[in-house]
Amino acid sequence: MTGEHHTAEPAEVPSDSAVLRGLAAEGVSFWLAGLSRAALADGSLKTWIADAHITGLVLSPSVMTCEIRRTDDHAYRDQLSLLARRHASPEEMVRALIAYDARWACDLLSSVHTAAEGLDGWVCVELDARLAYDRRSALEEARALALAVNRPNLLVTVAATDAGLDVVRECVADGIGVNAALIHSVERYGEVLDSYWEGLERSHEAGRDPARVPCVATWELAEVEAAVDERLRELGGVPDTAELRSRTALALARTAYDLQERRLDSHRWRTLRNAGARPHRLVWSGAGVGDGSSDPGHLAAGIRQVEEIVAWRTAHVLTRGALTEAARRARPRGDSLTGQAAAATDVVAALRRRGVHLGCLAENLERLRLRRLERDREELLDAVQNSPAVRAYR
């Protein structure tokens, strides 16, 4: 929950996990979330990358806030002192901290990115959520962030709002890698694909190599399923609602994967592929990712996600605690998405018959999530400007 920040929980590195090795062989990647500079500085993240098949990182402003507030002797102290001596504004300080962390994280994953021939090894850094409905300002920030980090394996995380779709298109056209995030519905995912492909077409027309302009699409499956299950509990006496609980995430993943496969069989994609473009990766965001939570319910949801959602060219975003538990206890059942569109359609239709409309839920979840992210940004700004390292130079 926003406002109740947690540090990225200590967790044993799942070294030589048969589960993680097996899923990696099936084309499934694992990305760590809930990270800030402490994990970069103490060397533990390098161990996770080497031993736990980690191929992506998601930096967390909320965990950064916690780190700055937790102690005066935090990993950001020296840089904040330097910025304060230069009379930087809180906004400038936050941008500088984020860019520094992003460069460091990108360098840690550079060998992974090279080994994957540019298809993995990404570091995701989110734009200021307060700009989610402001196309021009968000695009300016995305360009500034890409310039400040200046690493080939950076993905700028853009909320896939109506305005964000334009930002995705413009970033890809400019050659900036994008993580189109906060996707809660199949309809929105289809719009993300359109924006990505339009950007690729423009990028190619401008003489850029489409193979070097990546885009991933991050689904908030855990959020949608939690909202659906809550709605089903509210229905109470409606027959057979219990059997639909905990089935939404898999149904949406199957629908998204089917849509992607059908789009990749189109003439439009074949034209892009002939120009060098490569398919994007579908990314599934796990429960508790936003705050690094180690809540048992979130951990259980993470395990189930890893077990149920398996297919080539996909990735799971999990906290260290959830990934450790999944490595120990998950029992994946092989490719669960390919050719499963009909089963997904049955689940969605059954939900609709019981009055659960995923489109309406998606709109509400987008608004709620953006409000939380906006508060996260405000809290980070507050933590920075009230840090002793900054107050000493006022």
How does pLDDT run across 93-116, given as a tens digit for each residue?
999 999 999 999 999 999 999 999
Give domain status of residue 160, yes or no: yes
Is the pLDDT score of 291 beyond 90? no
Find tokens 């460091």 and name the residue: 104
CA distance 52 to 16: 7
Which residues, 6 or more positions from 81, have their beta carbon under 8 angstroms from its beta carbon? 389, 390, 392, 393
| pLDDT-derived band at 286, boundaries 50, 70, 90 | confident
Whether residue 55 contacts residue 31, with contact meaning beta carbons closer than 8 Å, is answered with yes
Q: Which stretches does DSSP call E strand in the chain?
A: 28-35, 54-59, 122-126, 154-159, 178-183, 215-219, 281-285, 314-318
Position 393 in a domain: no
* Cβ pair 244, 346 in contact under 8 A: no
Q: Is 317 helix (H, G, I), strand (E, B) or coil?
A: strand
Residue 3 pLDDT grade (very low, low, confident, very high; cuts 50, 70, 90): very low
Does some domain include residue 11?
no
Residue 9 lies in a domain: no
- The predicted model scores a pTM of 0.93
Work out the burial of residue 259: count CB atoms within 10 Å of its CB; fewer than 13 is exposed, 13-18 middle, 19 or more buried. Answer: middle
Confidence label for 287 from pLDDT (cuts 50, 70 and 90): low
Considering the domain boundaries, does residue 10 fall inside one? no
Q: Residue 2: which pLDDT band, with cuts at 50, 70 and 90?
A: very low
Q: What's the CATH number where 254 sits?
A: 3.20.20.70
**Number of structural domains, the chain?**
1
Which tokens hold the place of 66?
Answer: 């916690």
Nearest to 33 by CA among 305, 217, 289, 218: 289
Instruction: Name the residue among 373, 226, 288 with its Cα closest to residue 9.
Output: 288
The whole domain housing 198 covers 18-386
- Which tokens is 58 given? 């998601």
Would the pLDDT of 7 be above 80?
no
Distance CA 73, CA 324 (A): 28
Residue 295 resides in a domain:
yes
> Does a structural domain hold residue 205?
yes
298 within some domain: yes
